[in-house]
Amino acid sequence: MNRDEAPDARNRILDAATQLFALRGFDATRVTEIADAAGVTKALIYYYFSSKADILDCLIRELVDKLTSIATDFVHESIVQMIKKGYLDIKPDRLSFVNEDAKDHFLRSLRVCCERVLDHAIAHRATLRILLLESLKGSSKHHNILLKIHESTRDNSEGSLYKAIVDADKDFTYSDDLRVFNIFFGYVPIVSFASYYDNYKKISNLTDQELRESFLNSLWIIINSMVSGSELLLRTKNIGG
Amino acid sequence: MNRDEAPDARNRILDAATQLFALRGFDATRVTEIADAAGVTKALIYYYFSSKADILDCLIRELVDKLTSIATDFVHESIVQMIKKGYLDIKPDRLSFVNEDAKDHFLRSLRVCCERVLDHAIAHRATLRILLLESLKGSSKHHNILLKIHESTRDNSEGSLYKAIVDADKDFTYSDDLRVFNIFFGYVPIVSFASYYDNYKKISNLTDQELRESFLNSLWIIINSMVSGSELLLRTKNIGG
Amino acid sequence: MNRDEAPDARNRILDAATQLFALRGFDATRVTEIADAAGVTKALIYYYFSSKADILDCLIRELVDKLTSIATDFVHESIVQMIKKGYLDIKPDRLSFVNEDAKDHFLRSLRVCCERVLDHAIAHRATLRILLLESLKGSSKHHNILLKIHESTRDNSEGSLYKAIVDADKDFTYSDDLRVFNIFFGYVPIVSFASYYDNYKKISNLTDQELRESFLNSLWIIINSMVSGSELLLRTKNIGG
Amino acid sequence: MNRDEAPDARNRILDAATQLFALRGFDATRVTEIADAAGVTKALIYYYFSSKADILDCLIRELVDKLTSIATDFVHESIVQMIKKGYLDIKPDRLSFVNEDAKDHFLRSLRVCCERVLDHAIAHRATLRILLLESLKGSSKHHNILLKIHESTRDNSEGSLYKAIVDADKDFTYSDDLRVFNIFFGYVPIVSFASYYDNYKKISNLTDQELRESFLNSLWIIINSMVSGSELLLRTKNIGG
DNA sequence: AATGAATGAGTTTTCATTCAT
DNA sequence: CATGAATGAAAACTCATTCAT
């Protein structure tokens, strides 16, 4: 069901649940608390949702849909365009650009994209926090976002992100190292930053603007590393020591 | 109370609680489940602990103590030694090494340290997962590890880590950017990797060895970035764009 | 909440609790017992009351409200009327009547009042027993009826009983002796008689009628003593010897 | 077992139990609390006593023994002596004294006795409070002091108080009214006064001396009433109205 | 005489969920 | 749509008591 066409009470329930699940976690949140916070009766919650878990499912589904569409946009608008235009070539052992202009162009569009992703993450930080909390629990299979992300790098089915990249560049393949890097130094910091946003803001005494800049600076260093270090990551070989 | 001198049953309770809290989360874990898993009666749990929350507190305290000692060891053994020996100088705008040898030495000892930290993290991944879960909850103040970490970069009191570095190098100071980087691209990925270790291993079909190597590769890229990018981070200025 | 407008089940819970608290005492009464006696589920008890103690509070509040209104009625209808009509004058050292008729009138109205109070006490003997039991416990401040009674002899605020008497007779004042007498030979015997009513009836093999008469006879002797002995009590001086 | 020859720990347990039972009531007092207050372990309590109820029984037994001996002393020393000496004659409808001297003598010895009883009561107020609390509970048959008192006015067996009086004065008999008066305006106020002693002292801001005097004044009025009003009480007839 | 460890059987309380209206 | 009343099942926690040492 779409938020726009849904009854007001139903949306108030979802909003209240979002705040409470994010604050206390799903298990520690009582249906009564949601009802109170939403200004409705408990019974009405069961009119709109079949169970407490159903509210959570609904929230997660909304978020995943939104994230998927953002990711899809990014891949199609940036990477695929770059590859198709011939600026970028993902070789087995490195990202390869036709020239410095292409590289600059890529980095610039990546930067814009990162900012957009970060802003989205901050805007939906409560739901992301819920997702993070739930994904840490061993029980609930259907909230395993880790699995979803991982599969997105293998999923060859029509319309998938991976397929989109592979269609653009036949040689592209994810190395195990790249996956680890992507997840634990890409997704995880962004989701964590969003999840801890309010806490960290309070602790650090930074303004929204300063916090955003600060994180983007860090993220940028990582992205540069990834572009420069891509050679290493794509090769899946031990380095350093 | 120390584990070594504590009654066996008490330790079995703590172990059982660790596994269950990590798997289902604190709120979804029943005291009965802990009792069954530990092979004791519910009443005995209340003989040793005043409440379910008390078990959690105990676990977190143990972990924080251990982490603190590891961090202390690291700072004293590596960074402080390097500074004192004159190999390293943390300048306002960059890490500065006397020569390439010093830099190599520093990186090598950093690498060893990272491996040790990672191995510790993996070994205590269940408790780290609990810590991560609890630190995401807005309610409990005393589990706010984010705050602890943040304060460790400001705490000037005798015996603190920060004091140890500052004593060794008078000019050293944390920039806001460096803090953000440290936390969200340092601590967070390591803790998250440990927390998701079992899940990710299952999903990726990698061996323990492969997984460890893979993460260390990524971590290494970050650490190199930090060393090279230190100039940027320490300056606290906007970059890229 | 008023009994009349309250749901039937809620009143059944209060009635059941009254009987059980009076019989076994608050602490020895199990919520399950109340539920069974009231013919409701345990959970419903917690729907209407926040805790077992809340049921007790509710009961005590109801009783105190009722007692207060009875006492108020008595003072206004009897004592104040007598004083205003000029029949009675409470002097510093004795009750003073204009003539024998006034004294007879006062005693008669006092007798009627005593009977009414006694009948009320017997009717609410279960709750009085609870009150007596609870007032004997050192812990709960809010059940300290002794304090309430004592303060009612000092409370000069608008609408208080004491104020009503003082307004009618400017010279009136409670002596310490009068307070002790009132409490331990007035309130206490009546409340105790009501509390032990069923026990004593069984033991003595008297009918309700006989028991009532018997107690009223005794009470009458006391009241006569008080009227004749008022001189002594109001003077606060040692006697006998 | 006698206190003097009992181990110190056992007496400490009894003392602690006395204070706690008096403060919170038997049911609300935990064995652990007694152990803590007595400075012994729970297990030791079960070494000396077979159960929590056993501690109570022990306390009550001690008190009842003491009270019985006091009452016996009183009856033998005062009433029986008076009757035997021919000063007092308890007639069916009144107390009868040979002359004013006999009456004065009786009153004086009664006064002394009252003081002694009151002082005993105050000294053992904690145990009396327990007795009062327990006697109000419908359950425990063996703590029914009301029954014991009542029976003491009928008990014709060798060594009983009643027998002592009857032996001295063949015509003596308790009327129902006298029993009610004795209990509810004699025993009950004294026991209640002792039970509420500390509470009332705090509330009234009186010194021990003042409080004692005040209560004795009131008691004296009652006793005088009883002696003068004995005619009415012994006749068991309706009065007043 | 003394105790730390252990427990069975309860106790109060909670909570997601249902249902008649 | 909306709700007050109601509940079964289970949760956390308690407590008198026992026992091996």
Q: How do C88-91 and C94-97 pair as beta strands?
A: antiparallel
- With H, G, I as helix, E, B as strand and everything else as coil, classify residue B193: helix
A47 CA → F2 C1’, Å: 9
Contacts of C113 in chain D (CB under 8 A): none
Alpha carbon separation from D48 to A12, D10, D35, D130 (Å, rounded):
63, 7, 12, 21
Which of A132, A139, A229 is facing B136, going by the closest CB pair?
A132
The whole-number pLDDT of residue A236 equals: 40
More confident position, A236 or D124: D124
Strands B88-91, C88-91: pairing is unpaired
**Which residues fall within 8 angstroms of residue D237, CB to CB, at 6 or more apart?**
C217
The half-sphere exposure of C234 on its side-chain side, counting CA atoms within 13 A, is: 18
Give whole-number Cα distances, D81 to D74, D85, D102, in Å.
10, 6, 12
Structure tokens at A59: 């929230």
C185: contact with D, CB 8 A cutoff: yes
- pLDDT reported for residue A239: 33
How distant is the Cα of A5 from the closest Cα of chain B, in angstroms? 32
Q: Are A218 and B233 in contact (CB under 8 A)?
A: yes
Q: Find the closest chain C residue to D224 by CA distance.
A: C225
Q: Strand E: list positions under 7 Å from protein Cβ.
A: 1-20
Q: Which residue has the higher pLDDT, B33 or A8?
A: B33
Domain ranges of chain C: 3-48, 53-233
pLDDT in tens, D172-223: 777 888 889 889 998 999 999 999 999 999 999 999 999 999 999 888 888 7
Mean pLDDT by 10 residues, chain A (241 residues): 81 97 96 97 97 95 86 76 74 68 80 88 95 85 78 78 74 81 91 95 94 91 69 42 32
How far is residue D16's CA from residue D39's CA, in Å, rounded to a whole number? 9
Confidence of residue B240 (pLDDT cuts 50, 70, 90): very low
pLDDT at B94: 60
Q: Please state, as a whole number, how many other Cβ atoms lie within 10 Å of the Cβ of residue A222.
A: 24
- CA distances A119 to A188, A197, A208, B189, Å, are 15, 12, 11, 21
Those of residues 91-110 in D touching chain C at CB distance below 8 A are: 107
* Phi, psi dihedral angles at A106 (to 5 degrees): -60, -50
Closest Cβ opposite residue C184 in set D189, D198, D225: D189
Is A136 within 8 Å of chain B by CB?
yes
Q: Is B8 left (phi over 0), alpha (psi -120 to 50) or beta?
A: alpha
Query: Does B33 touch chain A if contact means CB atoms closer than 8 Å?
Result: no
CA of residue C19 to C1' of nucleotide F13, angstroms: 27
Helix, strand, or coil (residue A91): strand
- Helix intervals (H) in chain D: 8-24, 31-38, 42-48, 52-74, 81-84, 100-123, 125-135, 145-152, 161-168, 176-182, 188-204, 208-235
pLDDT score of D54: 96
pLDDT of residue C240: 35
Partner residue facing D222 (CB), from C177, C185, C188: C185
- Give the integer Cα–Cα distance in Å for B149 and B74: 15
Residue of B nearest to A139 (CA): B24
Q: Which two tokens stand for residue A132?
A: 């993070």
User: From the C1' of E15, which residue's alpha carbon is nearest?
Assistant: A30
Q: Which residue has the higher pLDDT, A127 or D93?
A: A127
Of D23, D189, D213, the CB nearest to C185: D189
Residue B215 C-alpha, separation from nearest chain A C-alpha, in angstroms:
6
Q: Residue D3: pLDDT band by 50, 70, 90 thresholds?
A: confident
Kindly report the nearest CA distance between residue C43 and chain D, in angstroms. Answer: 23
Angstrom distance (rounded) from CA A181 to CA A226: 9
- The whole-angstrom distance between B5's CA and the closest CA on chain A is 32
Q: Cβ–Cβ contacts within 10 Å for residue A55, how many?
A: 24
| Tokens (6 digits) for D133 | 């609390």
List the subunits that have 3+ CB pairs under 8 angstroms with D: C
Beta strands in A38-123 (DSSP E): 88-91, 94-97
Min Cα distance C7 → chain D (Å) is: 30
By the CB < 8 Å criterion, does D159 face chain C?
no
- Judged by a CB distance cut-off of 8 A, whether residue A133 touches chain B is yes
Cα A188 to the center of its chain, rounded Å: 8
Q: What are phi and psi of A94, to 5 degrees?
A: -175, 165
Least confident stretch, A23-27, A162-166, B232-236, C149-153: B232-236
Q: How far is the CA of D14 from the C1' of F21 (A)?
A: 27
Contacts of D140 in chain C (CB under 8 A): none
Summarised one tens digit per residue, pLDDT across range C164-179 is 777 777 777 778 888 8
Helix (H, G, I), strand (E, B) or coil at D95: strand
Exposure of D239 in the CB half-sphere (CA atoms within 13 A): 22
Which residues on chain C are in Cβ contact (under 8 Å) with D104?
none
Single pTM value for the model? 0.88
Q: State whether residue B52 is helix, strand or coil.
A: helix
- Distance (Å) from CA A43 to C1' E18? 9
With an 8 Å Cβ cutoff, are B137 and A23 in contact? yes
Per-residue pLDDT, D236 = 40
Q: Which one of D139, D193, D222 has the shortest CB-CB distance to C225?
A: D222
**Which stretch of A13-27, B112-126, B132-146 has the lowest confidence by average pLDDT?**
B132-146
Q: What is the pLDDT of residues D26-81, one digit of tens each?
A: 999 999 999 999 999 999 999 999 999 999 999 999 988 888 888 787 777 777 77
Query: From CA A93, how far away is CA A235, in angstroms rounded?
Result: 5
Cβ separation of A217 and B177 shorter than 8 Å?
yes
Within A136-185, where are the H helices? Answer: 145-152, 161-168, 176-182
With a pLDDT cut of 90, the percent of chain D lying above it is: 45
Those residues whose beta carbons lie under 7 A from strand E are A 29-32, 42-43, 46, 50-53; B 7-10, 40-44, 47; C 29-32, 42-43, 46, 50-53; D 7, 9, 40-44, 47
Residue C88 backbone dihedrals phi, psi, to 5 degrees: -120, 140
pLDDT band at residue C199 using 50, 70 and 90 as cut-offs: very high
Is the shortest CB-to-strand distance from C9 to strand F under 7 Å? yes
Look at the domain B3-48 and name its fold: Arc Repressor Mutant, subunit A (1.10.10)
